[in-house]
Chain A
Amino acid sequence: GAGVSQSPSNKVTEKGKDVELRCDPISGHTALYWYRQSLGQGLEFLIYFQGNSAPDKSGLPSDRFSAERTGGSVSTLTIQRTQQEDSAVYLCASSYPIGELFFGEGSRLTVL
């Protein structure tokens, strides 16, 4: 597609359940980022993929969070055993190795 696509746009889940969030980056963009925006907070970096290099996972808040990127394209962010503090908007962005970020509309996660 023309832009970064994220799904689902909204997800409501119960505490303790696992969730998967999907990101389809712009074709040709080798870099992919996940950010989290919690209520009243700025964007928080989570994880970064660049080509075939090992991902930078330094922003993941706990081992319940993981992400993978298959075939250098689509990425999935997985949150296991969700907690209420995981409620946030999860943003995906892609870019060329160095350059402007292009963001998706985000996935709003609500953990009850």
Chain B
Amino acid sequence: GDSVTQMEGPVTLSEEAFLTINCTYTATGYPSLFWYVQYPGEGLQLLLKATKADDKGSNKGFEATYRKETTSFHLEKGSVQVSDSAVYFCALSRNAGNNRKLIWGLGTSLAVNP
């Protein structure tokens, strides 16, 4: 069945470091891919998404490129800030817009130190 695998955390970085959180997936067809973020004390929120191969989602300095050849959707940011400390979730949906069918990774905790 469909699945999402994220790198395990916690990830600890210094401010201004480069961030990569790996996400790979298994799915038939052409799923849509998402990154959600949960800041401390807040609900999950959509960070970025990509709906077809080679699309790049971007938001708040974060980017992720939908790579069908490597079945990956790695999250990157060139210079992290303390405020980026959060838990990041990768997810896929085989039916764009069908939130019931979202398949989630386990989440990766990021801590950014000043």
| Chain A residues positioned under 8 Å from B99 (CB to CB) | 31, 33, 48, 93, 95, 101
With CB as the reference atom, state the residue of chain B lying closest to A48: B100
With CB as the reference atom, state the residue of chain A lying closest to B46: A100
Establish whether residues A105 and B100, one from each chain, have CB atoms under 8 Å apart when the complex forms: no
A12 at the interface (CB under 8 A from B): no
Minimum Cβ distance to chain A for residue B21 (Å): 15
Decide if the interface of chain A is mainly helix, strand, loop or mixed. Answer: loop
A40 at the interface (CB under 8 A from B): yes
Chain B residues 85 to 101 lying within 8 A of chain A, measured CB to CB, are 89, 91, 97-101
B102 at the interface (CB under 8 A from A): yes
Distance, CA A99 to CA B44, complexed state (A)? 15
Minimum Cβ distance to chain A for residue B61 (Å): 19
Distance, CA A103 to CA B89, complexed state (A)? 13
Establish whether residues B100 and A43, one from each chain, have CB atoms under 8 Å apart when the complex forms: no
Distance, CA A93 to CA B34, complexed state (A)? 16
| Chain B residues positioned under 8 Å from A3 (CB to CB) | 43
| Chain B residues positioned under 8 Å from A48 (CB to CB) | 99-100
Q: With A41-B106, A45-B102 as given contacts, are A99 and B43 in contact (CB-CB < 8 Å)?
A: no
Establish whether residues B102 and A105, one from each chain, have CB atoms under 8 Å apart when the complex forms: no
| Chain A residues positioned under 8 Å from B43 (CB to CB) | 3-4, 91, 93, 102-106
With CB as the reference atom, state the residue of chain B lying closest to A96: B97
Minimum Cβ distance to chain B for residue A29 (Å): 11
Establish whether residues B97 and A98, one from each chain, have CB atoms under 8 Å apart when the complex forms: yes
Establish whether residues A105 and B41, one from each chain, have CB atoms under 8 Å apart when the complex forms: yes
Establish whether residues B100 and A101, one from each chain, have CB atoms under 8 Å apart when the complex forms: no
With CB as the reference atom, state the residue of chain A lying closest to B99: A101
Q: Which residues of A contact B (CB under 8 A)?
A: 3-4, 31, 33, 40-43, 45, 48, 56, 58-59, 91, 93, 95, 98-106
Closest 5 CB pairs of A and B: A103-B43, A42-B104, A98-B97, A103-B44, A43-B104
Q: List 8 A-B contacts (CB under 8 A).
A: A4-B43, A40-B106, A58-B100, A98-B98, A101-B44, A102-B45, A103-B45, A104-B43
